Structure 1
Amino acid sequence: MNALAYALLSMLVRKPCTGYELKELLEVFWQAKHSQIYPLLTKLQKDGLLTFERIEQSSKPDKKVYSITEKGLKVLKEWMFRPANPAVIRDEFLIKVYALWLVDRQSAKVMFEERRAMYQSKIRYREEQIQIMEKEFGDGVLDHTSRVFGRYLLFQRKLRQEEEEVSWCDWVMDILDKTNKTNQTNKTNQTNKTI
């Protein structure tokens, strides 16, 4: 089984979910596509690791609500004791940063402003979710045997990463502003020397 399969089981151990809900919950770990999730759910169901209940909907297609089985829980618990594989980080933006010298200063600044805005939005969402957990579970969020404990830790970690990303964007934009001012000063000095 791959990491995505274990991620799906980890989501389902907390509560039954639809495929759409699983995709939304997985956002904390990585971006998975529906084309990855649904075939894997079918495989996990065939392997007896999860089951589903079909829910009829009047104006929409029926939906499946997935639940983990005892066998799935056993497999998930066994996996918990294995060492984790090294993290795979794939961020297209960082490749663009590496080649940033190819664009003008203003375009570079726009790239970082957009990145910053995206992460500020993530921070707002993460803070809202953390507040909901703290309100609903109180001190229970810090009880390692609570269903919400791992999710709370994960959201706190993601929040810190997102705040660091905003801080890094601010730092880069500050450098870009200083570079622009230095270039303008140099141009002014060269103009004054020629006059």
Structure 2
Amino acid sequence: MADFSIISDVSNEVLKLLRENICPELIQSPESIALAAPTDKNADFQLGLYLYDIQELREYQNLDMIRLRGNQAQYPPKPLNLFFALYMNTKSQMMSNVENEQRILGRAMQVLMDHAILYETAENDETSASITLLPMSYEEKTKIWSVLSIPYQLGIYFSVAPVLLSSRRIRSFKRVVAAEFDVSQRQR
């Protein structure tokens, strides 16, 4: 569970993973793999990581409050599913040949599959964030690119979930210190 920066933290963790496992074998500089929207005018990177959607994961919904110190409880975190596209930057000055681009994408896919568990939370191993390759149709992929007004580009589409976004909402409560029960029976 993490604060509002968790979305950025997950993106940076995926970026770090790709940089550590692709550079310098296929891409010379780690800065050539970047968090970037396909609409970016910056052409200084070869491989772009783009977060294109965030959805709530209702099946992981937890309704239990989290007990804090004293007489306080925190509202439960929201489980999220982050959707990414990993794509070659066709505007890059460093573009290589098609065969090398396919090697880069193949290696990137291998890295994502080999590191399917992105991280584990210290509090509860059941909430490990996993990387899942998405089985999207060509039409679904082209819709992403058409919304951006960019021609379709080959890419790898994957999600990371569950990502737990903590709540800052805290509720105070009073402890029960005494209870009184009447156990007398009624006669009919």
For Structure 1 versus Structure 2, the TM-score category normalised by the shorter chain is under 0.3
Higher relative contact order (CA 8 A, sep 6+): 2
TM-score for both structures, normalised by structure 2: 0.28
Greater helix content: 1
Name the structure with the higher strand share. Answer: 2
Tell me the TM-score normalised to structure 1 length: 0.27
